[in-house]
Amino acid sequence: MDIVWQSPANPPEAHDYILRNGRRHVRPYYFEFISHVKNRWAGKTIVDLFAEEFKGRPREYYVNAVKCGRIQVDGQNVHISYVVQSSQKISHFLHRHEPPVMACKISVLHKESDVITVCKPASVPVHPCGQYRKNTVVGILQAEYGLTPLFPVHRLDRLVSGLLIFARNADKADMFRQQIEAGMLQKEYIAKVIGVFPEGEQIASANVHYNAREGRSSVEVGDCSSNSSSKGKVACTKFTRISTNGIYSVVLCRPVTGRTHQIRVHLQYLGHPIANDTLYISEHVALRSTEGKGADRAAVITAVHGLPSDDFFVEVQDVKDGDGFHIDPMCTNCPNLAPKGYDGLEEGLWLHCIRYTGPDWSYECPHPDWAVLV
């Protein structure tokens, strides 16, 4: 079989998806990942670099991939002992399996010539990132609605649902950007949290530091007058309780700033984490740098009886007639549709963006149909 290598220039198409058992899968495809050697990678052998930085595959896979030319440096085959240098181009040609997402429809709420609003389902990333490229809001809207180009005005965490706004041209995107920078836009969320949230407006003003390596934020609290350096960014969120049943509370969340995981970590800081947020419901979670998985998936491992990942995640041989993809002999995920460790446990957070308001406009999203609402 002649392999056709896809790149980011290849748009998603409707036939790329398989809907099964409430999950949206992507047919595995051949893809060229391109990266450039970071300073902290320089001086490592090509095999050590991949084995230490990309732990989703065993070391033996990377050895074989280098030997057969599926991993190249500056477009050339290299020896497994080759030492990389800063800024060199690395290409990884692999059989790409994207994680499944929930097979919920992306509803178009409002459509104009230069702006579109949609209701983003939980579990779907907004744009290509990490292991996701086609299984994203941008990819699905392009494949199923023919909507392109799209410029995200704001983003929602992958596990968060709700209102998402896209500009449809660069000028409109720039207008939104200027309004955001001027502090003219306001977002509102609702969250279901643990415990009886206090009455009245509660304000969390605590710096938030995002650890990109671990995919997790933390709150920094200290003496503002001290000379100690802070890695965190100034962050503020306002909360108001809507209802409570004595066990859980539904809370209106108004972020003043927009830090990564800000609402999630501020609710944890106040002692009322989102009720099903495994990443922040406990101070102690497995690190994704050691697990070789996404931060939320590593947290799930910690939450379920402390079982190690190899025992907890059971793979299903799920290839069926008509799925229409090639089984690659080198691939560590074949013959499954999903990559190893993604068995569909993540249903999404009880955190939903309900409203986005500007100086002369306002967009809203319907209330989520959570199974249990206080």
DSSP calls for 48-80: HHHHHH-TTS-HHHHHHHHHTTSEEETTB---T
Position of tokens 């057969």?
68
pLDDT (tens place) for every residue of the chain, 374 residues total: 678 899 989 999 999 999 998 899 999 999 999 999 999 999 999 999 999 999 889 999 999 999 999 999 999 999 999 999 999 999 999 999 999 999 999 999 999 999 999 999 999 999 999 899 999 999 999 999 999 999 999 989 999 999 999 999 999 999 999 999 898 999 999 999 999 999 999 999 999 999 988 899 999 876 544 455 678 999 999 999 999 999 999 999 999 999 999 999 999 999 999 999 999 998 766 665 555 555 555 554 444 444 333 332 333 345 554 466 889 999 999 998 899 887 655 678 999 999 999 998 999 999 887 765 67
Nearest Cα to Cα of residue 9 among 169, 142, 125: 142
What is the model's pTM? 0.84
d(CA 106, CA 117): 10
223 as an active site residue: the answer is no
Which of 48, 114, 157, 310 is flagged as catalytic? Answer: 157
Name residue 372's amino acid.
V
Name residue 171's amino acid.
D
